Amino acid sequence: MTFYRLPKREVVARWAAESPRDFLFAMKASRYLTHIKRLNDVAPNLAILYERIEPLLRSPKMGPVLWQLPPTFKRDDERLARALGQFPRGQRHCIEFRHESWFAPDVMALLRERNIALVIGDRPQVHGFQTHELTADFTFVRFHGGARGANGNYNHGELDEWAERLRAWSREVDVYAYFNNDWEGYAIENALYVKERLGQGVDPVAELLAVEKAAAAQG
């Protein structure tokens, strides 16, 4: 909702006011910053985003800011360090690298130094190089589609394995996990299954109503 275009402040205020009390938003940095500017000139452009989402920033519903880099963006340590230095203090940030050149010890060390979380992106295309490293006091997992299920769905075996990982990581850091495999509608079903496996089961009807209410609040 913030990746393709910046929302109006009044719309963001409505998200904060009308979403469920314990709802948490993760904001995705604009593709202008990640795909067009490619982490150049972060400070002035990020300030525009922060001005728009200010109603959430001063609420307890603001979660991490997600930076998803394009798969053609290869490793550039100097540019990354410069960008990280412009991230506002006091706000959690995480980066999803999609080119394998980024998955190197020096890059992970830089993330740890700045308390920036490596996004653990689960998708078949990155299974050869995506690591499950914890580089901050939180981790951020994005489920883009299962390798064993059909049409992006995760089968129960995959979800059981992930539930165990999330349970183990939660003993060390805060865990944010989001299902992005929504094109066939599997995201909600998969998320509910994992919540149940983690002992966080809820009334599915109540959960779906909460999701619908949050979607409506987005306008």
Instruction: Give tens-digit pLDDT for 4-63.
Output: 899 999 999 999 999 998 899 999 999 999 999 999 999 999 999 999 999 999 999 999
CATH architecture, range 9-217: Alpha-Beta Barrel (3.20)
Instruction: Give 181-192 pLDDT, tens digit per residue.
Output: 888 888 989 999
Q: In which band, very low, low, confident or very high, does the pLDDT at 215 lie, cut at 50, 70 and 90? A: low
Q: How remote is the C-alpha of 16 from its chain's centroid? A: 18
Instruction: Give 77-100 pLDDT, tens digit per residue.
Output: 999 999 999 999 889 999 999 999
Q: How remote is the C-alpha of 43 from its chain's centroid? A: 20
The pTM of the whole model exceeds 0.85: yes
> Domain ranges in the chain?
9-217
